[in-house]
A and B are shown apart, each in its own frame.
Chain A
Amino acid sequence: MRGSKLLKAPLRLTGEYRRPDADTLVREVRTPYAETTTLHAGEATIERAGQSPRKFSLSRAPELAGLQNSFGALLGGDHASLETHYVLQADGTRQRWQLTMTPKDAALASKLKSIVLFGRGAELRCIQTQPVGSGDAQRTLLAGAAQEAAKATDAAALAALCEGAPAR
């Protein structure tokens, strides 16, 4: 989900995240259009059909930088690595938990307020990225939540879904 004050309605994209190797994260969008983003060594490469790839530095896209190193550490179960980049705070119950990660790095913290992970049991269901300032929170729904999101209609419902409420 991506909201912007320029847009009439938040964008809703579906696709998948892949980790072909420990240092690489691939974000593949399938609908409503095809786009592949490869995150590797601090750089993002965006490829779309019929266009030459665009490269930019992750330092310019903090939400993604946060996603990459937290994703890597989360999937790898690397608690220590997470803690080098973020202050971690866990809340909730085992059935409905949330982990708030606040960046330690000053440059990242100036753009990214926090990343909140929501989950149920062993399932990570949603990643909510909160930028500094007035920008909208960006949500990535995963696993069961992503399937339920197909049924959600408006932004409020999606936000609730992300935070762990059952689909309405």
Chain B
Amino acid sequence: MSDSPAKSPAMSGTRRLALALLWLVLLAVLALFIAPRVQLSGDLRKFMPAPQTPAQKLLIDELGEGPGSRLLLVALSGESPETLAAQSQALRERLLATRVGVDVPFKLVANGADVGLDAIPQRLRPYRYLLSPTLDTQRFDAAFLRSELDARVQDLGSPAAAMIEPLLPSDPTLETLKLAQAWQPANAPQRLHGVWFDRAGREALLAIETHAAGFDPEGQQAAVDAIHAAFDAVRANSKTKLTLTGPGAFSVEIGGRTAREASLIGTIDSFVFVLLLWVAYRSWKAPLLGGLPLVSAGLVGLGAVALAFDGVHGITVAFGFTLIGVVQDYPIHLFSHQRAGVSPWASARALWPTLGTGVASTCIAYATFLVSGVDGLQQLAVFTVVGLATAALATRFLLPALIDPSPHDAADSKWLARCWNALARWPRMNAAGACVVAAIAVAVIVFVPGAFWQNDLARLTPVPPAALARDTQLRGELGAPDVRYIIALQAKDTEHALQLSERLMTALDDLRAQGVVGGFDLAARYLPSAETQRARQAKLPSDNELRSALREAMAGGAFNDDAFDDFARDVATARKATPLVPADLAGTPLAASTEGLLLQREGHATALVALSGMQDPAAVAHIAQVHGAQLLDLKQASESLVAEYRERVLWALALASVLLAAAVWFALRSPRRVLRVLAPMALTTLLILAVLRGFGVELNLFHLVSLILAAGLGLDYALFFDHAGDDRAEQLRTLHAVIVCSLTTLLVFALLATSSIPVLRAIGGTVALGVAFNFVLALLIVRAPVKAVA
């Protein structure tokens, strides 16, 4: 350390440290203030543009709550079928009794156990005559009743007697059983020991529908946790294994893996950052002071987002912190340029035009996301702009009070001088050279075969192939609805939606018979339209007609004369009943089946038809269209949304590059300098794209946003080399700063690039490449020839 006195009165080391600690305390207070105001929301829809087409609207507005995305599939295996069946039952009971806070996490837990009779509450039982299709083709006359009663005698002599006997007095035609059977899933798996099993009879199967939307990672997490907890209790000491698949389970697993990898990488990064700064500045205080602007940036940025939006998106926080990671460069520049004999304030003042230009340009670039019209991107813009500005201002106006005024001068470093001498021999790249590099890069970008863009959202969060295969298998066994295709039927109210559904249902029955679809589910299967109910009601006999038909049917038969008095009473009730509407089902298990499939909005209703085992989408689309409905391909809808989204980001990027160039022009005011500063950044962007394309990487949104980050870094490097001019000492200090900056950034993002999570890999790879290219190109293009070599 140099012991020459500083010109301005320097604060004592203790006092500086105390101030740094005070800053930390203030940050902690700020964190306490902000924390309760930050409500992390995991709703991915906030990161989507406003939907335009019906399919997109359905995907965004409703399908998060749709039946396919909320379904979790469970298989129990590894024990005898009897044990598994008992465990399946116990698991179902536990899950239905589970509460998370006051919420019921599960809408439906189906394992094949007969629930039909309990599904109809006592007050609705007489409605069986309006719900069951028997009256569509049959009248309750003496002949029909006689044949039914004969069959009932046989039932009483059969092993089913105990089950049927209690129903008989009020329901001799067994409509209750017909309904229970009709409400079973269309192509349910085989049942062994009372519950569903796979075809091989080795795995007990359950289908669980959550209340939480598929787009809601926290709700899905709570549901998955509840299932694991219930399973652990049910399993006890047996060897049973649990398999859990479905969109929710996968998103939870991938979310967990992403969080684990990101936090591991974050930990390694912090360690590397501390170590590098310690080594670079030979002071343990450097990492502490270097971290202060970063932490301030994060907290203030978070506070700003919390103030400006309701609910901070989880991705904003995760991605935002990655993006504002560049602010750790700001104190590094200050450290590297600080030397004995110059007050820290003077150093900061001298750096400010350069630092300020870089920060302002990058802020302008991110600010273009504000016009993207996407809530999540706007949050990201506010977070990064406020964060970058905070860190820059903190470095300019607060940090000089804290740093050591007379540290080791980077310009005196021997290895740096050797390094510089080596670099000085590098050729400088002229305009022609830059054009050649650009041309090669563009050629690679254009001519390498393969898809340019990646539209499949699922590829961003890939499910391991084994898990996906298991999901497909369970989906097939359970006849669970396809997550890709769904029919939507729009009507002005639920009654009309149900009427249209009934007509569609007949057509779909034909398609199923032809094997075009494996099965389907829609609300009209559980609740006929009021029109249909009234038609059945009109066919119910009057009390006198029924009693005389019954007398005739029972004459000389095996039943006691008064055996079916309850039947006559229920039919009389059904004749006078007001037809059931969806609201009447509230609180019954039927509501769970219907409400996900019949969506009511102000002045509008949508009936959904969940499809399974889809064989011929075109045929189904045709049938749907004929009946005034529409077959929606949700995969296609999500891909078109992504494409639209990308278009917005690209426009934002184009705007950003224009504004960035304008900002640099405004700051430097010399066409030559502007071109020199912008050239490395522009070339780097082309080179990154060329390398990614060359390796067959399909580009996604995270690549694009990362390109801005890389461009921002490149701009900083170029501006600082430009600022250094031709003074050797300044060049050395700048080189020192840029080496430390680029090393820390490179390490952070190179680690991210090794991640198994495509999102992290996209960000890491893009930025790491960007740092490397920007560093080299800034040296080759921006660096001024040294005036006099010492």
Contact = CB atoms under 8 A, between A and B. Distances in A.
B193 interface: yes
A147 interface: no
B192 A8 contact: no
Contact of A37 (B158, B560, B563): B158
The residue in B114, B192, B194, B559 that gathers the most chain A C-beta atoms within 10 A of its C-beta is B194
Given A8-B558, A60-B114, A46 B160 contact: yes
A55 B112 CA distance: 12
A33 B160 contact: no
Contacts of A9: 558
Nearest to B561: A8
Contacts of A33: 154
B193 A43 contact: yes
A2 B161 contact: yes
A9 B556 CA distance: 12
Contacts of A43: 191-194
Contact of A41 (B159, B201, B559): B201
B563 A6 contact: yes
Contact of A6 (B156, B158, B191): B156
B113 interface: yes
A60 B162 contact: yes
Interface string A45-59: 010100000111111
B302 to A, nearest CB: 55
Interface in A126-168: 131
Given A41-B81, A41-B201, A61 B162 contact: yes
A44 interface: yes
B165 A6 contact: yes
Contacts of A37: 158-159
A64 B163 CA distance: 11
B163 A56 contact: yes
A54 B157 contact: no
Interface in A14-52: 27, 29, 33, 35, 37, 39, 41-44, 46, 48
A7 B191 contact: no
A56 B157 contact: no
A25 B288 CA distance: 79
A46 B151 CA distance: 12
B160 A44 contact: yes
B82 to A, nearest CB: 7
Contact of B191 (A48, A57, A64, A131): A57
The 6 closest A-B pairs by CB, nearest first: A42-B193, A57-B194, A64-B159, A41-B192, A59-B194, A11-B157
A57 B114 contact: yes
B204 to A, nearest CB: 11
A8 B557 CA distance: 9
A33 B558 CA distance: 14
A56 B160 contact: yes
B758 interface: no
B162 A2 contact: no
B153 interface: yes
B708 interface: no
A55 B161 contact: no
Interface in A57-86: 57-64
B154 A42 contact: no
A120 interface: no
Interface in B66-88: 81-82, 85
A124 interface: no
A62 B558 contact: no
Interface of A: 2, 4-9, 11, 13, 27, 29, 33, 35, 37, 39, 41-44, 46, 48, 54-64, 111, 131
Nearest to B85: A42
Contact of A2 (B157, B163, B560): B157
A46 B81 CA distance: 22
Nearest to B563: A6
B589 interface: no
B113 A57 contact: yes
Among A5, A43, A57, residue most surrounded by chain B Cβ atoms (within 10 Å): A57
A49 to B, nearest CB: 11
Interface of B: 81-82, 85, 113-114, 153-154, 156-163, 165, 168-169, 191-194, 201, 558-560, 563
A8 B153 CA distance: 11
B171 to A, nearest CB: 12
Contacts of A131: 162
14 contacts: A2-B156, A4-B156, A6-B165, A11-B558, A35-B154, A37-B159, A41-B81, A42-B192, A56-B160, A57-B191, A59-B113, A60-B160, A61-B161, A63-B159
Nearest to B82: A42
A27 B192 CA distance: 19
Contact of B163 (A8, A29, A60): A60
A134 B451 CA distance: 75
B192 A7 contact: no
B153 A11 contact: yes
Given A11-B558, A37-B159, 15 more contacts: A2-B157, A6-B168, A7-B153, A7-B560, A11-B153, A42-B193, A44-B160, A46-B158, A56-B114, A57-B193, A60-B162, A61-B161, A63-B159, A64-B159, A131-B162
A46 B154 CA distance: 11
B475 to A, nearest CB: 23
A6 B157 CA distance: 12
A127 B169 CA distance: 28
B34 to A, nearest CB: 55
Nearest to B172: A6
B159 A27 contact: yes
Given A41-B192, A41-B193, A57-B194, A62 B162 contact: yes
Contacts of B560: 5-8
B191 A55 contact: yes
Nearest to A33: B154
B156 A11 contact: yes
A108 B469 CA distance: 39
A61 B563 contact: no
A58 B163 CA distance: 10
Nearest to A3: B156
B159 A46 contact: yes
B201 A7 contact: no
Contacts of A27: 159
B735 to A, nearest CB: 78
A1 B493 CA distance: 55
Contacts of A111: 162
Contacts of B163: 56, 60-61
Contacts of B85: 42
Contacts of B82: 42
Nearest to A112: B162
Contacts of B113: 57, 59
A41 B158 CA distance: 18
Contacts of B201: 41
A13 B153 CA distance: 11
